[in-house]
């Protein structure tokens, strides 16, 4: 039997991870007894209705002290302020990303049972050194150089988790998520929000504005591949991780142009035509410092691979929308 | 006119830096009006007697709030718990090294005048990945992998300083100090303490125990070269730093055997014979994960070089002892 905590458990990735885990029934060979979803918002109704789910709604920083006595067996730490809001409000980012993570780790250490922890780090730890171009493809062992406070905070957390694991306080690992697309719902404050918007909005029959050039290349991953990878990183033994506790998750390295070509191939030219280009200097400036692609040799060694094509990613989103009509995901663009 | 803060200003490096700055009279082309020495201990009497010196004695974490209204022009942030004590007491290290640095940076940001800051980082940010040997010589752009909490905390501070500089809150840079030898005074809790002890104690006519093999190689620097480098890194423009804000200081890469040969060459075989080898597994284990040598291309580009020989370093220590008889540094081994 195993008891799990998912921080950010009501968010898109958190809720989807919870559903996947509940449907599997086991994790690392042990039956899942309970999943606690900690989030500032309540989780979706289907999860609230699950007898193995307990929802804890409130600020993570205030919840952490209570976690010491919970003695979770494992934790997926996904809660985070996103890149755009951290760039606008430095203190918010430090509190949400660094202080909350530290409070969580302190609680897990106080629990005394060395729980396993997967931390959602980010490809945003990488960036160019001043005056130097960034490697076209960032690897597991590329020297990080965050260009946003979000990336810097994620990187500091990686180092704290590595050190607390070395000390035997936790059994941690940091999975560097690629930009997850297609996210459902509304645009958010993440600078990467448009990587979902330019697909999701046209499929819903709504115009979408792309704030960067079509030539922009970026490492992306579908929600399904991302969840699969988070679970595999959790289940990997320390030996299988081979060395460092932070690793890149597999990506599909793709240009905005290729994304839109895929959208047209799957959904037709009328849908594609709903995307307009209108450069946003703030977003474009942030994105210009992001990696154009990523490799993931160590995740590959765990058997993980990136999405085969962006067409697959578009089809996955359409299938997800059809499978969950309750989630208010519309495909009006496609149906018209 | 310029007003400076030195944290850890009563320590060996801090006090020596203060003396050097006072005797120069200027820093970055501006006359030094005042140096505030913040430390948990009172500074040496000669500094207390200096009209340009103000001593602030107490815990740094409590002093920081007051720094916001001081509006220092520049800061040398040297205060730190050392590697050995951070390894024994994780919370002490987090408080002394991470929390105190953050409180200091917050205060400097609140001051609103973008003060220049030199942070004393450490070669301890480097280490081998599990199962992989470390490069024999670590360079500015070697991927850090701290093997101690001390090194992890220094590395987190480097990233915080880089991000707060990018945001325009401070004008920071992080100088990775090599192991400074010969330190005067008593052995301390740093795992590197013996790198001074095996020279200092024999020169004082006292036996010294070396806890590692004579074949151990390590990057070291004399106090004089270290102070010179801290000042040069302070005075460098952002353009001269060329890129990253963290850089290695120049080192002399030397084995314990070479250190003892140099001691014998300068002070004779009787002094050398006072060093006994007695392996300490805890110390040897920490040191085994330290770099065997370091390069410093970016510091070299600022005109900085390492010490020419370990004989020079031994002679510098002897000259320092003779120049400051008030400092209770004995050379009884040499005089006998």
Average pLDDT across chain A, whole number: 94
Dump pLDDT digits (tens) for B227-258. Answer: 999 999 999 998 898 778 999 999 999 999 99
Q: Considering the domain boundaries, does residue B184 fall inside one? A: no
Tell how strand A208-210 and strand A246-248 pair up: unpaired
Verify that A204 and A158 share a domain, yes or no: no
Q: Is pLDDT of B143 > 80? A: yes
Verify that A110 and A234 share a domain, yes or no: yes
Annotated catalytic residue B150: yes
ipTM over 0.90: yes
Verify that A25 and A158 share a domain, yes or no: yes
B132 at interface of A, judged by CB pairs closer than 8 A:
yes
- pLDDT-based confidence at residue A300 (cuts at 50, 70, 90): very high
What is the pTM assigned to this prediction? Answer: 0.95
Q: What is the CATH number of the domain that holds B283?
A: 3.90.25.10
Verify that B79 and B129 share a domain, yes or no: yes
Verify that B143 and B256 share a domain, yes or no: no
* Pairwise CA distance, residues B199 & B274, whole Å: 10
Catalytic residue among B72, B150, B194, B317: B150
Q: Which residue has the tokens 């804000």?
A: B245
Verify that A76 and A100 share a domain, yes or no: yes
Verify that A36 and A50 share a domain, yes or no: yes
Q: What domain range is A325 assigned to?
A: 194-219+252-292+308-335
Q: Considering the domain boundaries, does residue B300 fall inside one? A: no
Q: What is the CATH number of the domain that holds B146?
A: 3.40.50.720
Verify that A329 and A214 share a domain, yes or no: yes
Verify that B9 and B117 share a domain, yes or no: yes
User: Can you state the angle between helices B12-24 and B223-235, rounded to 10 degrees?
Assistant: 60
Helix (H) and strand (E) counts in chain A? 16, 15
Q: Considering the domain boundaries, does residue B16 fall inside one? A: yes
Token digits for A42?
Answer: 């309540």
Q: Does A243 sit within 8 Å of B131, measured CB to CB?
A: yes
Q: Which of A148-157, A321-330, B291-300 has the lowest mean pLDDT?
A: A321-330
Put simply, the chain A residues between 189 and 208 with a CB less than 8 A from any chain B CB are none
With H, G, I as helix, E, B as strand and everything else as coil, classify residue A36.
strand
Check the CA dihedral B85-B87-B93-B97 and report its sign.
positive
Put simply, the chain A residues between 155 and 194 with a CB less than 8 A from any chain B CB are 155-156, 159-160, 162-163, 166-167, 169
Verify that A15 and A147 share a domain, yes or no: yes
Q: Is pLDDT of B327 > 70? A: no
Among B141, B159, B244, beta carbon nearest to A152: B159
Dump pLDDT digits (tens) for A275-297. Answer: 999 999 988 988 888 899 999 99
Q: Does A149 sit within 8 Å of B162, measured CB to CB?
A: no
Query: What pLDDT was estimated at residue B110?
Result: 97
Verify that A109 and A226 share a domain, yes or no: yes
Dump pLDDT digits (tens) for A25-40. Answer: 999 999 999 999 999 9
Dump pLDDT digits (tens) for A127-185. Answer: 987 767 778 899 999 999 999 999 999 999 999 999 999 999 999 999 999 999 999 98
Can you tell me the mean pLDDT for B164-191? Answer: 93
Among A129, A156, A243, beta carbon nearest to B132: A243
Token digits for B76?
Answer: 């040398």
Verify that B23 and B116 share a domain, yes or no: yes
Put simply, the chain B residues between 45 and 104 with a CB less than 8 A from any chain A CB are 90
Dump pLDDT digits (tens) for B75-111. Answer: 999 999 988 899 999 999 999 999 999 999 999 999 9
Q: Considering the domain boundaries, does residue A301 fall inside one? A: no
Burial tier of B322 (Cβ tally within 10 Å: 0-12, 13-18, 19+) = exposed
Least Cα separation, residue B171 to chain A (angstroms):
15
Query: What pLDDT was estimated at residue A288?
Result: 87
Task: Kindly state the percentage of chain A with pLDDT values over 70.
Answer: 98
Q: How many domains does chain B have?
A: 2
Among B149, B166, B244, beta carbon nearest to A163: B149
């Amino acid at each position: 039997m195993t008891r799990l905590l998912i921080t950010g458990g009501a968010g898109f990735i958190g809720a989807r991870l919870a559903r996947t885990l509940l449907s599997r029934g086991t994790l690392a060979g042990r039956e899942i007894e309970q999943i606690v979803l900690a989030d500032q918002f309540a989780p979706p109704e289907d999860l609230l209705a699950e007898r193995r789910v307990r929802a804890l709604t409130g600020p993570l920083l205030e919840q952490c002290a209570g976690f010491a006595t919970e003695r979770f067996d494992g934790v997926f730490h996904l809660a985070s302020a996103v890149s755009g809001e951290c760039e606008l409000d430095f203190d918010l980012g430090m509190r949400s990303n660094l202080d909350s993570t530290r409070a969580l780790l302190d609680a897990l250490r106080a629990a005394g049972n060395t729980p396993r922890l997967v931390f959602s780090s980010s490809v945003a730890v990488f960036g160019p050194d001043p005056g130097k171009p960034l490697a076209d493809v960032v690897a597991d062992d590329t020297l990080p150089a965050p260009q946003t406070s979000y990336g810097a905070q994620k990187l500091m957390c990686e180092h704290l988790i590595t050190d607390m694991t070395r000390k035997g306080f936790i059994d941690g690992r940091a999975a560097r998520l690629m930009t997850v697309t297609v996210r459902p719902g509304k645009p958010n404050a993440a600078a990467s929000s448009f990587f979902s918007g330019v697909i999701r909005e046209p499929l819903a029959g709504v115009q979408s504005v792309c704030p960067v050039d079509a030539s922009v290349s970026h490492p992306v991953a579908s929600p399904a591949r991302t969840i699969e990878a988070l679970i595999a990183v959790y289940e990997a033994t320390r030996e299988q991780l081979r060395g460092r506790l932070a690793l890149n998750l597999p990506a599909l390295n793709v240009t905005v142009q290729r994304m839109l070509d895929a959208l047209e191939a799957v959904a037709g030219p009328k849908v594609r035509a709903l995307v307009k280009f209108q450069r946003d200097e703030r977003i474009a400036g942030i994105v210009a410092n992001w990696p154009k692609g990523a490799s993931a040799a160590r995740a590959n060694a765990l058997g993980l691979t990136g999405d085969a094509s962006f067409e697959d990613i578009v089809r996955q989103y359409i299938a997800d929308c059809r499978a969950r009509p309750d989630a208010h995901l519309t495909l009006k663009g496609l149906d018209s």
